[in-house]
Amino acid sequence: MGRRRSSFDGFMEYASRLPWGISIALAILSFVLMHGVPILQFLLPAGFLIGAAGSILRRSQSHTLFNQAAAGTHRAIADMSWGKFERLVGEAFRLKGYDISETGGDGSDGGYDLVLTKDGARLLVQCKHWRTQSVGVPVVRELYGVITAQGAAGGLVVTCGRFTREARLFAQDCGVELLDGDGLRTLIREVDPNKTEELNHSLDHASFLQSNESALSPIYCPNCGSVMKRRVAGRGAKAGQPFWGCSRYPSCRAIVPIG
């Protein structure tokens, strides 16, 4: 039989799930408000400060989990424990700009594991780290009931696996979003700070080349001998891709691929 958790243990656990800045602010506030109550004046701030340290540690661990998932394969996510999977999902949405609150993951979460808040709207998230079976309609129905009861703006069910056809049909009818393993990996790639930095570097490099085009060795049209200009395809299968186009377009339609 495991050791029973004291009320103070539960209090520190709650504090560790708050943003660390809020925990520090509450530590200061409780120290001021509890003046004249010797035990509480020091006990409550101590709990909030320990919670703030725990919050910083959890944030660091969540960041590490995200980097591992971003650099790994599907197995890197599937092999995580359910607790780590839940924190990975939270970190992905945090990088997407949401404020994240964890419900504790103790089985008494009332049908959801995370609360996403952005622009005043609350979204409830249920995480299902199921490796071998698809998530069925009962999970989606349960979350929809909680969303309705709490008046939340919406909700998501996230899994590293798949959803049944019935679950998808029900989700379409009630407006619950479903994020399967492929969708989660896409989200991770989209919000990965390392990928964003690489993309910005590539864009900066392309802008440099374009702005300094006149200083580079000119490219001459293979058809008419005129100087070619760097252009970007606006439509078609190669939309967004750069190419050299003849400066006499439309009289001359010669192009030379770049790269």
- Domains with residue ranges and CATH for the chain: 1-59 (no CATH), 72-191 (3.40.1350.10), 209-257 (no CATH)
Pair of tokens at residue 40: 């509480």
Give yes or no for residue 9 having a pLDDT over 90. Answer: no
pLDDT band at 186 (very low <50, low <70, confident <90, very high): confident
How is the chain classified by DSSP, letter by letter?
-PPPPPHHHHHHHHHHTS-HHHHHHHHHHHHHHTTT-HHHHHHHHHHHHHHHHHHHHHHHHHHHHHHHHHHS-HHHHHTS-HHHHHHHHHHHHHHTT-EEEE--SSS-SSS-SEEEEETTEEEEEEEE--SSS-B-HHHHHHHHHHHHHHT-SEEEEEESS-B-HHHHHHHHHHT-EEE-HHHHHHHHHHH-HHHHHHHHHHHHHHHHHHHTGGGSPP-B-TTT-PBEEEEE--SSTTTT-EEEEETTTTT---EEE--
Spatial distance between the Cα atoms of 245 and 242, rounded to a whole number of angstroms: 9
Q: Which residue has the higher pLDDT, 90 or 197?
A: 90
Pair of tokens at residue 84: 């780590």
Using one digit for the tens of pLDDT, what is the confidence trace for 112-165? 899 999 888 999 999 998 766 789 999 999 999 999 999 999 999 999 889 999
pLDDT value for 32: 80
pLDDT value for 208: 45
Q: Which of 4-13, 160-169, 184-193, 208-217 has the highest mean pLDDT?
A: 160-169
CA angle at 101 for the pair 98 and 105, rounded to the nearest 5°: 135
The residues facing 142 across adjacent strands are none
pLDDT band at 23 (very low <50, low <70, confident <90, very high): confident
CA angle at 190 for the pair 77 and 164, rounded to the nearest 5°: 50
